[in-house]
Amino acid sequence: MASAAEELDVDGITVRVTNPGRVYFPRLGSQGTKRSLVDYYLAVAGGPMLNALRDRPTHLQRFPDGIDGEEIYQKRIPQHHPDYLETCRVTFPSGRTADALKVTHPAAIVWAVQMGTVTLHPWPVRCPDTEHPDELRIDLDPQPGVGFTQARTVAVDVLRPLLDELGLVGFPKTSGGRGVHVFLRIATDWDFIEVRKAGIALAREVERRAPDAVTTSWWKEERCAGINRLGGGDERALRRRSSDPRRPRVMRWCS
């Protein structure tokens, strides 16, 4: 039976939350409900998370029936949405466009959770200029047999000295259970293709310095177990979003 809807005041904006008692994380039982997820996001939405997402077009990874149910990756905001939401027009490599969520207020984050969102994926741009990234994102992706310790070692002992030589500052965050993302703030003087080329060059230099620990190969057949795969500049086409570091991580267990 569905639980009664609630109306929450989020910094002066009323956000309606339907079925707050629905269990999103079954292993957490009564502590893993939709309302529990809303409470978590309420705690972070007005501070560091808003700063990270502000004015960025953001895609939504939704699990309306909980993480064991259907997953929906939503790029477009519904045509009929609350008046307090703002959108941003983005263009994909295919040439198609979409009006994505533009986060400008904590209420937008809570609304996303109301829609079943567990993870928010912001682009490395800020509206209205969606063609010139302000971040270059490096992805240290551990392969089978590699743990977080090895990924951290590459980030600290190989990537950071290289960034120091280039006069760049990297801001690391964990990724998944074992990986590391490093964000570099850059001027908005280059388009995605130019930033992609710079990221690939950076990744290949890390690979050159640590060939036994790092590979830039995308194809699994060309990778080795026990090694980190390093991606730079959204190397597979123009992949333009990552996940925010303050969101819960969707993890499933094998039975």
pLDDT tens digits for range 77-97: 999 999 999 999 999 989 999
| 140 pLDDT above the threshold of 50 | yes
Cβ proximity of 122 and 241 under 8 Å: yes
pLDDT on residue 1? 61
pLDDT tens digits for range 172-219: 988 877 889 999 999 999 999 999 999 999 999 999 999 888 888 754
> Residue 224, Cβ neighbours under 10 Å: how many?
13
Query: What residues does each domain of the chain span?
Result: 6-122, 135-232
Entry pTM: 0.82
**How far is residue 68's CA from residue 57's CA, in Å, rounded to a whole number?**
27
Whole-angstrom CA distances from 90 to 80, 94, 106, 184, 242 are: 19, 11, 22, 22, 15
CATH of domain 6-122: 3.90.920.10
Cβ proximity of 178 and 148 under 8 Å: yes
CATH class of the 135-232 domain in this structure: alpha beta
* pLDDT band per the 50, 70, 90 thresholds, residue 228: low
**Backbone phi, then psi, for 118, in 5-degree steps?**
-105, -40
